[in-house]
Amino acid sequence: MRFTRRKKPSNQIRIAEERINRLFDLCNEAVKRNRQDLADRYAEIAKKISMKYKVKLPKEFNRRICKKCGCFLTPGINLRVRLNKNLITYTCLNCGSIRRFRRENK
């Protein structure tokens, strides 16, 4: 006997996306108030919601979460950004992990 997983209802997915957007807004506000621990927690909750409801995080949100330690990355506080010809390099200053992204030409 084989079981298949059903997709979540569309209204639940829409609510999950709204919650994720709201949590990242709260992350930005927490960083402005020097509450990095609170911003990390909001980012963790947003990541869990996206996994539970199988919603892809938008690229700008996904790049703001460290893959290794899970903290909310803020340039100048706990994130070093370096630009090369073809790459953007993000270095987390908490754990030292490095992520490289292809630079988009505009």
Cα atoms in the Cβ-side hemisphere of radius 13 Å centred on 74:
18
Question: Residue ranges per domain, the chain?
Answer: 10-102
CATH T-level topology, domain 10-102: 1.20.5
pTM of the model: 0.86
pLDDT along the chain (106 residues), means of 10: 79 94 96 94 95 92 93 94 93 94 81
pLDDT at 8: 81
Task: Determine whether 7 is exposed, middle or buried from the number of CB atoms within 10 Å of its CB (0-12, 13-18, 19+).
Answer: exposed
pLDDT at 106: 61
Q: What span, in angstroms and rounded, lies between the C-alpha atoms of 15 and 93?
A: 33
